[in-house]
Amino acid sequence: MIIGIDLGTTNSLVAFVNRENKPEIIINERGNRLTPSVVYFKNEQEVLVGELARSQLILKADRTVSGIKRHMGEDYQVMIGERGYSPVEISALILRKLVKYAQEYLGDTIEGAVVTVPAYFNDNQRQATLMAGELAGIKIFKLLNEPTAAALAYGFESSQNQHVLVLDIGGGTFDITLMEYQDNTCSVICSGGSTTLGGIDFDNRLAEHILKTFRETQGIDLANDLIARQQIQINAEKVKMDLSTINECSILIPYITMGPQGPVHLNQLIYREQFDHLCHDLFAQIESLIAQTMSKAGVSKDWVDVIVLAGGASRMPGFREKVALLFAGVEIKSEINPDEV
């Protein structure tokens, strides 16, 4: 059995092709299909990966590593206490965990893996990914470009002549890829985007707004209260996700702090319109990154036949509206869960 691994900046997934010839994602110990790409070094002996690590991100920031993919291929180390860890070592810990989920589910039949990487990854970054596999004890048979994987999931075939634009906005990155299917080959024409723009920037905007509103209404500044900030950050992401399906959402955190009169609760209502307004410059950035990539490739909007949306943050209605407006009349494919595509 060969498994497929999406080793993401924010979340990772492991899948296989089942008896019905369909891709199937393997759930983790929490019953979730996505595993946060976060590693927490509890002590010398114990390392946690996934949800349990993510919940330590603010409180134990000095022993928790996230977003390591951004440093793949770099001469970079994260210091945990006295010991430095390379991006290859951290990625290997995440890979090992994913392989463990696959082994528990499929038994000991795993021969190796296909791992996806961004189309723009250079040789160093690809080499680092292969080394992480080696360190994790899994043979990587192939590195597959992420936008190619997304197009494959939609069943694009190279026999059809088509120009595809893949827009992949995850937790921390926005990847734009222009691909051409022609004469039985699929080629990446151009890639662009940003390694510092993703869902977390939208969470941060909401978190800042929540802190500011609390300060104005309660006269209490929570900016330096780590526990309160962690709760606000978690809730901000939840509100952002809820606002993808509903127009207003309330955030309630009881007993967030103590005031002169006793415990104080945080209770705010946030509207989607307000969220879109708070993030309008981020949406504008998205538009300008798309325009830059198109102009780098020397093509206009009419060149695009079909758009594929990928990445969890592509569920934001503001994002979808922007894309639909920019490419009026172009088919947008978004039926497959964008976190998993």
Active centre residues (catalytic) = 6, 69, 146, 168
SS3 222: coil
Stretch that binds ligand AMP, among 21-29, 177-185, 233-241, 265-273 (CB under 6 A): 233-241
End-to-end CA distance of the chain: 20
87 is a site residue for ligand AMP (CB under 6 A) = no
339 is a site residue for ligand AMP (CB under 6 A) = yes
DSSP structure string for 30-56: TS-S-EE-EEEE-SSS-EEESHHHHTT
Nearest approach, Cβ of residue 182 and ligand AMP (Å): 28
Interactions with ligand AMP, residue window 239-268 (CB under 6 A): 240-241, 244
Closer CB to ligand AMP, 264 or 308, in the complex: 308
E strand intervals along 95-247: 112-117, 140-145, 162-169, 174-182, 185-194
Nearest approach, Cβ of residue 198 and ligand AMP (Å): 6
The one-letter amino acid at 36: P
Stretch that binds ligand AMP, among 174-182, 186-194, 234-242, 271-279 (CB under 6 A): 234-242
237 is a site residue for ligand AMP (CB under 6 A) = yes
337 is a site residue for ligand AMP (CB under 6 A) = no
316 is a site residue for ligand AMP (CB under 6 A) = yes
Work out which of 3, 7, 10, 149 binds ligand AMP, going by CB under 6 A. 10
Nearest approach, Cβ of residue 35 and ligand AMP (Å): 10
Nearest approach, Cβ of residue 203 and ligand AMP (Å): 6
Token readout for 37 is 């790409």
118 is a site residue for ligand AMP (CB under 6 A) = no
68 is a site residue for ligand AMP (CB under 6 A) = no
Token readout for 235 is 């809730």
Interactions with ligand AMP, residue window 15-54 (CB under 6 A): 34
CB of 215 closer than 8 Å to CB of 256: no
Q: For tokens 């690809």, what's the residue? A: 126
Nearest approach, Cβ of residue 168 and ligand AMP (Å): 7
Interactions with ligand AMP, residue window 174-213 (CB under 6 A): 198-200
SS3 225: coil
312 is a site residue for ligand AMP (CB under 6 A) = yes
- DSSP structural state of residue 298: T
Token readout for 69 is 């993919």
Closest CA relative to residue 267, chosen from 283, 256, 275: 256
CA distances from 199 to 89, 102, 141, 217 (A): 26, 28, 31, 27
Nearest approach, Cβ of residue 194 and ligand AMP (Å): 14
How far is residue 12 CA from its own chain's centroid?
8
Work out which of 8, 50, 133, 147 binds ligand AMP, going by CB under 6 A. 8
311 is a site residue for ligand AMP (CB under 6 A) = yes
136 is a site residue for ligand AMP (CB under 6 A) = no
Angle, helix 199-218 to helix 226-242, in steps of 10 degrees: 120
CA distance 283 to 278: 10
Chain residue at closest Cβ approach to ligand AMP: 199
DSSP structure string for 130-158: HHHHHHHT--EEEEEEHHHHHHHHTT--T
Closest CA relative to residue 268, chosen from 214, 222, 203: 214
Number of residues that bind ligand AMP (CB under 6 A): 19
313 is a site residue for ligand AMP (CB under 6 A) = yes
315 is a site residue for ligand AMP (CB under 6 A) = yes
Closest CA relative to residue 293, chosen from 203, 183, 174: 174
Stretch that binds ligand AMP, among 136-144, 274-282, 285-293, 311-319 (CB under 6 A): 311-319
Which residues bind to ligand AMP, rule: CB under 6 A?
8, 10-11, 34, 170-171, 198-200, 237, 240-241, 244, 311-313, 315-316, 339
